[in-house]
Amino acid sequence: MIQIIVLGLIAGLGFGYASQRGRFCINSAFRDMYLIKDTTLFKAFVLAVLIQMVGVQLLVETGLVQVWVVEFFWLANIVGGLVFGAGMVLAGGCSGGSWYKTGEGLLASMVALVGFAAAAAATEAGFLAPIRELLQGPTFMKQVSGQGPTMALLLGINPWWVIVVVVILTGLWLSRSSLPRTFRGWAWPQTGLVVGGLALLAVPLSWSTGRPYGFGITFSTAHWLRWLGSFDNSLLDWESFFVLGIPLGAFVAAKRAGEFRWRYPGLPQMGQSAVGGLLMGFGAATMGGCTVGHGLAGIPLLAMSSLVSTGAIIVSAWGMAWLLFRRPQQITASHELHSVGEICPFPLVRAQSALTALSGGERLTVTFDCMQALESLPRWAEREGHTIISRSDLGDGIWQMVIQK
């Protein structure tokens, strides 16, 4: 057990630290492609996936590790992905993002995690389990050659052919991408390299404890809740201590950067985050993973379950982003915007709306404590032709930015 605890915590600490410094939330990566036409975090995600895609295949072929490809429950993957995608936008963070933002002091993320754990536990082994079993009932292509199907297996070709094509195409896209300026966090190449390297390292670390997979969030989060009710240590494995390490690593990073602050977004947002967490928990347990287990760790294996689940998550996230932030809303002209306590992406979305009502040359002052907005606001403003007049650290994790239209 000592080995499991230590190795899990090491990986979790690293991932939490890197996520906080790189503002790496997969919810933001997927949502912002549609919401603000910003692919910065998505590039970091893609780079992390490419590193694992090559590295894990090498580890498997050299016999250093074995990996389990999650079974393909096509209906559960689609439905679970759609529910999860809507939930993470409501919660203001995916499962991994909620864990690391907890380490930053965001109370809404803590509430989302409680909802996530409760719904995932109920869906895995509680009163929601019959719904999960019903959705997982259709078994078309559940397994191929004794494991979950991969793209390479279905095509009947060596995995390296798929990997080479994917690496070349996405590598060309990444190489031609501009490098946006950063204010305090990491640039996307550094974030992608570190997250991808840590995710790759997690595979042999986890394998050494008898768990044939890399990063994962869903079932360990649910198992901690079940463990509190039974103290059954058989529920705990490497992944259990990995998730505990994430907020610890994020806390260290936030404290070092002067960015830790207890953040209360108000009761309505707390309730919305709780609902989002419940939806994420049900969706993740139904499809057998989340944006980390399927998206970050499963896509590198070319697992069909992960590809379909992630696709459904993205579609649903875009739909919920439109519903919450893009549908026609009444705009009131204002030169002052107070967004302290608000979760991502509200500071940016409200700034967009406020500037729409202003005339050219007028200025908007935004006060906020969302660390992601420190990077996303300037990127958006520069892309839209606005000018950042000043950025001021007001102390206690609060920032003020003056934007001229």
Among 271-280, 312-321, 367-376, the least confident range? 367-376
Residues 189 and 219 in one domain: yes
* Across 97-112, average pLDDT: 96
CA dist 122 and 285 (Å) reads: 9
Residue 328 pLDDT level (bands cut at 50, 70, 90): low
More confident residue, 335 or 151: 151
Q: How many CA within 13 A on the CB side of residue 310?
A: 23
Q: Is the pTM of this model over 0.85?
A: yes
Which residues touch 264 (CB under 8 Å, ≥6 apart)?
107, 270, 341
Number of other CB atoms surrounding residue 196 within 10 Å: 25
Which residues touch 76 (CB under 8 Å, ≥6 apart)?
132, 135, 136, 286, 287, 288
Q: Is residue 330 part of a domain?
A: no
Q: Is residue 298 part of a domain?
A: yes
* pLDDT at 405 (0 to 100): 82
More confident residue, 295 or 380: 295
Does 329 score more than 70 pLDDT? no
Residues 275 and 360 in one domain: no
Out of 298, 323, 348, a domain closes at 323
With H, G, I as helix, E, B as strand and everything else as coil, classify residue 230.
Answer: helix
CB 187 within 8 A of CB 179: yes
* pLDDT at 125 (0 to 100): 94
Among 52-56, 134-138, 351-355, the least confident range? 351-355
Residue 375 sits in a domain whose CATH number is 3.30.110.40
* Across 286-313, average pLDDT: 96
Report the chain's mean pLDDT, rounded to a whole number: 91
Percent over 90 (pLDDT), the chain = 69
Q: Is residue 329 part of a domain?
A: no
Looking at the 3D structure of the chain, how many domains does it have? 2
Q: Is residue 331 part of a domain?
A: no
Q: Which domain holds residue 67?
A: 2-323
CA dist 287 and 187 (Å) reads: 32
Out of 323, 351, 379, a domain closes at 323
Which helix or strand (DSSP H or E) is residue 399 part of? strand 398-404
CA dist 138 and 55 (Å) reads: 33
CA dist 117 and 284 (Å) reads: 10
Residue 1 pLDDT level (bands cut at 50, 70, 90): confident
CA dist 263 and 244 (Å) reads: 20
* pLDDT at 145 (0 to 100): 62
